[in-house]
Amino acid sequence: MKIEKTVFKNDKIGAEYTVFHHSSGLDIYVMKMEGFSTVNAAFATRYGSVNTTFKTSEDDDFVTVPMGIAHYLEHKLFENEDCDVFELYAKTGANGNAFTSFDQTVYTFSCTDNYLESLAILLDFVQDPYFTEASVDKERGIIEQEIKMCADSLERQCFYNLLKAMYAKHPVKIDIAGTVESIQQINAELLYKCYNAFYDLHNMILVIAGDVNEEDILSVCDSHLKKSTDKGLEVSFPDEPYEVAQPEICENFTVGTPLFNIGFKCDPAKGNDLLKKHMCANVLIQLISNSASPLYKKLYEQGLINNAFSSEVFFGEGYFACIFDGESNDPLKVRDMIIEEVERIKREGIDSESFEIIKKSAYGSLVWEFNNTEICVNNLLGAGLMKVDLFETIDILAKLTEQDLMDNIDTLFDTKRVAVSIIQN
Whether residue 79 has pLDDT greater than 80? no
User: Model confidence over 203-257: pLDDT tens digits?
Assistant: 999 999 999 999 999 999 999 999 888 999 999 999 999 999 999 999 999 899 9
Q: What is the rounded distance in angstroms from the CA atom of residue 48 to the CA atom of residue 170?
A: 13
**Cα atoms in the 13 Å half-sphere on the side-chain side of 205:** 23
Average pLDDT over residues 138-162: 91
Average pLDDT, the chain: 95
The pLDDT score that the predictor gives to residue 2 is 62
CB-based contact 423:154 (threshold 8 Å): yes
Question: Is 0.85 topped by the overall pTM?
Answer: yes
Residue 15 carries which side chain, given as an amino acid letter? A
Q: Give the confidence band of 334 by pLDDT, cuts at 50, 70, 90.
A: very high
Q: Give the confidence band of 416 by pLDDT, cuts at 50, 70, 90.
A: very high
The secondary structure of residue 66, as a DSSP letter, is -
User: How much is the CA Rg of the chain, to the nearest whole Å?
Assistant: 23
Looking at the chain, the whole-number percentage of residues with pLDDT higher than 70 is: 99
Q: Which domains does the chain have, with CATH numbers?
A: 4-235 (3.30.830.10), 248-424 (3.30.830.10)
Pairing, β 204-210 against β 319-327:
unpaired
> Which contacts (CB < 8 Å, 24+ apart) does range 342-348 have?
342/288, 342/409, 342/413, 342/415, 343/415, 345/287, 345/288, 345/409, 346/406, 346/409, 346/410
User: Model confidence over 358-396: pLDDT tens digits?
Assistant: 999 999 999 999 999 999 999 999 999 999 999 999 999
Give the active site residues: 74
The pLDDT score that the predictor gives to residue 314 is 97
The pLDDT score that the predictor gives to residue 278 is 96
Average pLDDT over residues 182-196: 95
Whether residue 81 has pLDDT greater than 70? no
CB-based contact 356:291 (threshold 8 Å): no
Q: Which of 193-197, 215-219, 228-232, 415-419 has the lowest mean pLDDT?
A: 228-232
Q: Across-strand partners of 301?
A: none
User: Model confidence over 125-137: pLDDT tens digits?
Assistant: 999 998 888 889 8
The pLDDT score that the predictor gives to residue 158 is 96
The pLDDT score that the predictor gives to residue 150 is 82
User: Model confidence over 274-332: pLDDT tens digits?
Assistant: 999 999 999 999 999 999 999 999 999 999 999 999 999 999 999 999 999 999 999 99
Q: Give the confidence band of 184 by pLDDT, cuts at 50, 70, 90.
A: very high
The pLDDT score that the predictor gives to residue 80 is 72
CB-based contact 371:336 (threshold 8 Å): no
